[in-house]
Structure 1
Amino acid sequence: MENIDPDALEPGTEVLVGPGYLAGPGNGRAVFDSLGNAEGWTKVVAFGTDTYYTSPCQRVRVANAVKSHYGGWTITFAEDPLGIPDWIVTFDRHTPDEVVAAFTATLVQGLPNHFADYLTGGKHYTGASPATVFGSHQWEAVPGSRPFHSVSPDGHAAYQMRVGWLHEYDELLAPEKSMWRMSAGVDPVYAPSWQAYFSRYTPQHLLTASAVAFTDPTFVGRAVHQIPERHRSLVDVHLPESAEPAPRTAAALARSSHAEGVPDRRPATAVASSPSLSHAAGSRRQR
């Protein structure tokens, strides 16, 4: 399939973009659908822009506070519905929908039986972990890095694990101090375009679900205007097979030096594994 210069297309043109972690956040529909269609979950819209979801058991709270510092999605779990959260996850406003939706869909599916299906012997247990997912995609650890991080083959995505002791309250109150971080961008370690934070007691199967989506080599759908400007030289863009460019677009493509000779930078393999394993909980509070 031919790579296309996105700047040669109309802004509203629907395209396929890879890698997905550089494609931009998307429109959020997959995340809203995974929560909005969940049986028994309640939804509240506040201030005209912010959306909040609560699980039937009252243990999980999900916030999409548009104008907050991080924007995006904040998710907390508390064994005691009125207590301090046991774990908290923050996806900033630029995190690709696919990474967020993988987490929320797995959360919704596993919550009714307290994630038992994802533990050893459960019907969704595979034994996969974030480490095995990243390793199967040839991500490389950076020797001597503190915090420890591994980087994708193209150098534009990173998975970070904090080292050293930190009081759990500090971790839950400040996302940047979280145990794990996923990020991507031109410089994914020091100046990422987006970041997702997971506190230490986040169930491992949920972390793994996001890791699988993060590393998935499948191209994702976006409108051209949704692709970040700073990523356009780093991604491959294809028209869907059934789509034909408009006459004006076709003329621009004919003039574009990007329409020919652009190497295919897609990863060669895909992860066949799915989310697994769960983790214990502590206690914490929402920021």
Structure 2
Amino acid sequence: MNDPDADIDGDVYVFPRYLAGSTYTGDPALEPLLALGWQLTDDDLGNVYVTAPDRKIRLGHLPEGGDDGLWRINAYEDRFGPPTWGVSFNDMCPTEFVTAFTTALASAYQAGPERYLARPNPADPELVAFNAIVPLINRGWKIQPRRWGVMELQTTDGMAGLEFATGRLDPEKELTTLQARWYLQGGPTSGYARWYATASTNTPISLVTAITESVSDPAPLPRWKDQMLRALRETAQLVPVTPPPPSVPTPLDVRRSAPRRAPALTTRSVPRWSTTTTPSAALPARRSVPRR
């Protein structure tokens, strides 16, 4: 009989998932693209690069990059021109969020440039962007008081949030800094456990929605407890994948749980009715009756 827990890569489930942290492996996020025949190369430092057949989408998994931007994905209308859009995830971002994005990207690539290069409607970009925000609202994220140029949502526990910048932004800064149109973040407010993801202005809304759907999904993520950062273990709710077996009962437990025996019958004197007259049962003498 197969063990349903055998294929789960972890010994605990983490709630909520935005406190799970990274799995420290990029393979699951690369698989949707490699399955389409995208080219994979690497360098002497261990950085990995994946390129679409038409050379219009490039992904870098950069553990030895110059900053904490572990994942960088850019798309191009002109393969020799500047990127049309860019998305990034840092090294603490749960790998499942990246995998959700690359899975949607693989689907969009198969549909053609009109999907993976689809720009938001310039007539009302904020209205179109709302489609990526809807999953967060439906799952209880709260819109925060409006700040100038920023629409912000947060989880009720304050441990994750999204910022959508309005107005005109610098295209170069969107691709090289955190000053992008979309900025998602989560984790404890202090320490190294905090993650982020960014997406620039022209990122197709369907791809951004894939990220927000995954981040807000109520399903937990499996992790190995000993591999989680302490700040995450102390903040998240952890539930064992396999419940611990019941403890072996002690002899005292056995005695306490054993059914009690009925008391043994013993011989004892029981008064019974008797036909023998005893002194204590003597009747008074009859009085004589005179004869007539």
User: Would you call these one fold, judging by a TM-score over 0.5?
Assistant: yes
- What per-residue deviation string (whole Å, max 9, x for no partner) do you get for residues 145-172 of structure 1? 3433110122100001123422323322
Q: Which residue of 1 aligns with 2:168?
A: 165
Structure 1 runs of 4+ aligned residues shifted over 3 Å read 115-119, 243-247
Q: Which amino acid aligns with 1:156?
A: M
Greater displacement, 209-218 / 148-157: 148-157
Residues in 2 aligned to 1:95 and 1:160: alpha-carbon distance in whole angstroms:
16
Q: Which residue of 2 aligns with 1:22?
A: 19
Residues in 2 aligned to 1:23 and 1:215: alpha-carbon distance in whole angstroms:
13
Q: Shift of residue 33 of structure 1?
A: 2.0
Q: Which residue of 2 aligns with 1:148?
A: 151
Q: Which amino acid aligns with 2:37?
A: G
Residues in 1 aligned to 2:70 and 2:173: alpha-carbon distance in whole angstroms:
21
- What per-residue deviation string (whole Å, max 9, x for no partner) do you get for residues 81-130 of structure 1? 121110011101111111110000110111122266799xxxxxxx9822
> What secondary structure, in the 3-state scheme, does the structure 2 residue paired with 1:132 have?
helix
- What per-residue deviation string (whole Å, max 9, x for no partner) do you get for residues 200-237 of structure 1? 10000000001000001111111113322112222111
Greater displacement, 230-239 / 26-35: 26-35
Q: Which residue of 2 aligns with 1:216?
A: 217
Give the alignment of 1:35-54 within 5 angstroms: 35-37=33-35, 39-54=36-51
Q: Which amino acid aligns with 2:40?
A: K
Q: How many residues align?
A: 225
Q: Which amino acid aligns with 1:130?
A: A
Judge conservation of contact 1:171–1:178 (CA < 8 Å) in 2: yes
Residues in 2 aligned to 1:61 and 1:245: alpha-carbon distance in whole angstroms:
48
Give the alignment of 1:226-245 within 5 angstroms: 226-241=227-242, 244=244
Assess, with a 3 A threshold, how the Cα gap between structure 1 residues 245 and 36 changes in structure 2: closer, same or farther. farther
Judge conservation of contact 2:76–2:82 (CA < 8 Å) in 1: yes
> What secondary structure, in the 3-state scheme, does the structure 1 residue paired with 2:29 have?
helix
Q: What TM-score do the two structures reach when normalised by structure 1?
A: 0.71
User: Identity, % of aligned pairs?
Assistant: 26
Q: Shift of residue 187 of structure 1?
A: 3.0
Greater displacement, 60-69 / 162-171: 162-171
1:65 aligns with 2:62: yes
1:79 aligns with 2:77: yes
Residues in 2 aligned to 1:170 and 1:117: alpha-carbon distance in whole angstroms:
24
Q: Which amino acid aligns with 1:169?
A: E
> What secondary structure, in the 3-state scheme, does the structure 1 residue paired with 2:188 have?
coil
> What secondary structure, in the 3-state scheme, does the structure 2 residue paired with 1:95 have?
coil
> What secondary structure, in the 3-state scheme, does the structure 1 residue paired with 2:77 have?
coil
Q: Structure 1 regions of 5+ residues with no counterpart?
A: 1-11, 120-126, 248-287
Assess, with a 3 A threshold, how the Cα gap between structure 1 residues 129 and 228 changes in structure 2: closer, same or farther. farther
Q: Structure 2 regions of 5+ residues with no counterpart?
A: 1-8, 119-128, 248-292
Q: Which amino acid aligns with 1:197?
A: T
Counterpart pick for 1:89 among 87, 102, 127: 87
> What secondary structure, in the 3-state scheme, does the structure 1 residue paired with 2:40 have?
strand
Q: Which residue of 1 aligns with 2:260?
A: none
Q: What TM-score do the two structures reach when normalised by structure 2?
A: 0.70
> What secondary structure, in the 3-state scheme, does the structure 2 residue paired with 1:233 have?
helix
Asked which structure has the greater RCO (Cα within 8 Å, sep 6+), the reply is 1
- What per-residue deviation string (whole Å, max 9, x for no partner) do you get for residues 42-70 of structure 1? 00011241000001111000001112112
Residues in 2 aligned to 1:176 and 1:128: alpha-carbon distance in whole angstroms:
21
> What secondary structure, in the 3-state scheme, does the structure 2 residue paired with 1:232 have?
helix
> What secondary structure, in the 3-state scheme, does the structure 1 residue paired with 2:163 have?
strand
Residues in 2 aligned to 1:192 and 1:168: alpha-carbon distance in whole angstroms:
28
Assess, with a 3 A threshold, how the Cα gap between structure 1 residues 210 and 13 changes in structure 2: closer, same or farther. closer
